Amino acid sequence: MNLSQPSPSRRLPSIDALRGAVMILMALDHVRDFFHTGAMSFSPTDLSKTTSILFFTRWITHFCLPVFIFTSGTGAFLWWRQSNRTIAQLSRFLWTRGLWLIFLELIVMQFAYNFNISSRYPILLLILWIFGVCMILLAALVRLPMRWLLALSMAIIVLHNGLDRIRISGPAAPLWSLLHRPGLLTFSGKMFLITYTVLPWIAVMAAGFCFGRVLYYEPDVRRRIMRRIGFISIAAFIILRAINAYGDPAPWSSQRFVLSFLNCTKYPASLDFLLMTLGPALLVLAWFDLHPPSRQNPLIVFGRVPLFYFVLHFYLIHVLAVLLAWLRYGNNAFTFMFNPLPSMGGPKQLFPPNFGYSLWAAYLIWIVVVALLYPVCRWFAKVKSTRRSWWLSYL
């Protein structure tokens, strides 16, 4: 099989475009969290309360984290191979970047979520947390032979739902929450909310690392592989979900069948959830590989600066939420808006009844957020492409 060796300085626009697409979708989900009135009182995947449009507004954003984690693994492979770096260099980059992301989650992002530094609220261990933990683990796992790493990642993805019925109490309970069962932990008198568990996500990142090898194949070959894996994953999802016996701890029901069938478990990410999201994502990746967008396309611009975009978009959304609350409630807004919103686990009694806006208003605000982010991210992408400072690789 012939290999196409990408230049060490070359970025792959297909990866950037796919990542940029889910980043735009991610902003929709977070705008919904901060602005939609329904987000303050119920989950959009609660089939007893949700509407179809609200459900799919949430469902489409399920693609975000699997794509982020998978392409992060792929990006680590390309970083390693495109400049002929050693495994030791790769390992060091991964664990230092992982620690950096955990620091950002614990310090920078907590304020973005709450605009409040009070210790009475739980510390949310969310996206940057799981990225950081997985990168630290991957720093050790990359020392395994590639075929072993691929086999291990596939085994965890396929088999981890066999652990769903296990309940662990006592001193080992916190470790089990980190690995497989989301929940609240108490450490040094502080509460930590874990939503993203390690087992499924380290497997996805490791699988993405192994997938990086495919991107060195000739274009027709790699696209064929992407499509094949994508279609097999979608078929496996449909079959497993239809059997309704394994692959997701929440079986579907005949009531609201389509929504129920697609309502797979994200916390922790089930086998069905990963097949449902990564399969179509690989088909989109193959399409972008054949039809790469231009450098100025928002997909490429956002996809080239994912961490910068991520931190900035949370602060922008929260600032807009405070501004609109002030316009609506006057100075009274400052008595409740500097607490976590009910959708983020905050005290609902502090907020006015029916706080929030319609779903269509949330969509409009989402468009505004993406439009405001574009010029700033375009500027920073240019900075990253024209400077070689080491610290830029951590942003």
Please tell me the least confidently modeled range out of 27-36, 131-140, 380-389: 380-389
Token reading at 121: 């609220």
Whether the model clears a pTM of 0.85, i.e. scores above it, the answer is yes
Give tens-digit pLDDT for 331-372. 999 989 998 999 988 888 999 988 999 999 999 999 999 999
User: What's the confidence (pLDDT) of residue 6?
Assistant: 47
Give tens-digit pLDDT for 247-257. 999 999 988 99
Give tens-digit pLDDT for 116-125. 877 778 899 9
Q: Compute φ and ψ for 190, nearest 5 degrees.
A: -110, 145
User: What's the confidence (pLDDT) of residue 245?
Assistant: 93
Say if CB 288 and CB 18 are below 8 A apart: yes
User: What's the confidence (pLDDT) of residue 188?
Assistant: 77
**Residues in CB range of 178: below 8 A, 6 or more apart:** 133, 185, 194, 197, 198
Nearest to residue 34, comparing CAs of 354, 320, 328? 320
* Edge-to-edge strand list for the sheet holding 190-194: 123-125, 190-194, 183-187
Helix (H) or strand (E) holding 192: strand 190-194
Between the alpha carbon of residue 43 and those of residues 271, 359, 387, 393, the distances in Å are 21, 14, 44, 36
Query: How many H helices and E strands in the chain?
Result: 15, 3
Report, as an integer, the average pLDDT of 30-52: 95
Say if CB 203 and CB 69 are below 8 A apart: no
Share of the chain above pLDDT 70, in %: 96
